[in-house]
Amino acid sequence: MTRSNGNSVEVENLVKRFGDFTAVDRISFQTRTGEVFGFLGPNGSGKSTTIRILCGLLRPTSGRAIVAGYDVVQSPELIRRNIGYMSQKFSLYADLTVFENLRFYAGMYGVPAAELRGRIDWALEMAGLRGRESNLTGTLAGGWKQRLALGCAVLHRPPIVFLDEPTSGVDPLSRRLFWELIQRMSGDGVTIFVTTHYMDEAEYCNRLALMNGGKLIALGTPTELKLGSIQGWLLLLECDRLGEAIERLRRFDGVRDVAVFGNALHLVVSDAAAAPAIRAALEADAISVTSLQPIRPSLEDAFVALTTGRGANCPSELPS
C-alpha cells in the first residue's frame, strides 16, 4: 500500500459507469496538503459521483483513487477514519437534538472520551449553536443545519474533508460564514475537497477542477482558468437591439464568440484593436452602442468558454 501523504487525494484514470451511462470518464488529478480544492461543474457532470467514490461509498468501475494514503477499493474502512464527509442532502437526524447528533457522530468516529466534551464544545462554538444544544435539529434554519453538519463531519479532526455542495439552499450570509470556516480549517492544514456550482464560491478555492459530462475539462487556480480559457480578448458590449447585434457580430470577421450576459454581450475577439471596427459596423446597422471595452474574464466566462468548447484554449478546434 502506498501511504504517500495523509492529506492528499490522488486520482488516476478514474471511471464510473452506471449501465450505459458514464458518470465519471477517466479523470486524473492530485490535491495538495491544506488546499481548498474546488470541483466545479453543472448538475450531472459527475462531481457528486467522484466525491462518493473518494469517500468509499461507491466503487469505481476502473482507475485508481488514493485518499489519505489508502486505496478506495482496498481499504474504504481506513479511509473513513481519516475523512469527514458532508453529503449534498442534509443528512443529520432531524428528530435528535443538536447535542445528540454531535454526540452520536463523536461516537461513530470514535472520538476519545477525554476529548469528547471539548470537541462537542468546539463544534457548537464553530456552528454558532451554543445555547441551542437541546433544540431538535429539524427545527434549525438552513445555515445552522449546514454548520452543524460540518461540525459533525469534522469532530474527529480528519485531515481531509469532503463537502458535496455544502451551501446549496442556504442564505448568502450563512454561505459567507461557512466559507470562512472552510478557510480557517484549510489554514490549519486540512485539505478541503468541495463541490459547488456557485461561481462566486469557486473564487474562494485554491485550485479548481472543472467537470463537464463526466470529464475533467480544466484544472488550475481560478486565475489560471480565467486567463487560460479565453484566447484573445474579452469585450463587454452594451448596446440596444441585442438580437440584431448578435446576428451582425456572428458574421463579423475576428469575433470568435458572442454570449449574452445580463443586458450586455460578452465578445471574444482575437485582437482588442478590432473594437473600433466593431463599433463602426454596429452603428452602420443603426445599432447604438453605449459602451464597448475590454474586461477581465470572470470564472463564469471561463466556465462557459470551457464547457461549450468555444474560445477554449484548445487550439486545434479554433481558427487561428
Of the ranges 79-87, 118-126, 165-173, 219-227, which one interacts with other proteins (CB under 8 A)? 79-87
Q: Is 52 a binder of other proteins (CB under 8 A)?
A: yes
Q: For residue 162, give every residue at least 6 positions away whose Cβ sits within 8 Å of its Cβ, in sequence order, or none.
A: 51, 54, 55, 83, 84, 85, 86, 193, 194
Q: Is 306 a binder of other proteins (CB under 8 A)?
A: no
Residue type, 105: Y
**Any idea which residue has 481499504 for its cell?**
75
Give 116 or 275: the residue with its C-beta nearer to other proteins.
Answer: 116
Give 178 or 204: the residue with its C-beta nearer to other proteins.
Answer: 178
Give 18 or 273: the residue with its C-beta nearer to other proteins.
Answer: 18
Question: Closest separation between CB of residue 126 and other proteins, Å?
Answer: 18
Q: What radius of gyration do the chain's Cα atoms show?
A: 23
The number of residues making up the chain comes to: 320
Would you tell me how many other CB atoms lie within 10 Å of the CB of residue 171? 12
Question: Closest separation between CB of residue 139 and other proteins, Å?
Answer: 12
SS3 215: strand
Please say whether the beta carbons of 153 and 123 come within 8 A. Answer: no
Q: Is 92 a binder of other proteins (CB under 8 A)?
A: yes
The residues with which 234 forms a beta bridge, in sequence order, are 268
Give 48 or 229: the residue with its C-beta nearer to other proteins.
Answer: 48
Q: Is 55 a binder of other proteins (CB under 8 A)?
A: yes
| Site residues (vs other proteins, CB under 8 A) | 18, 52, 55-59, 76-77, 80-81, 83, 85-87, 89-96, 100, 103-105, 107-110, 149, 152-153
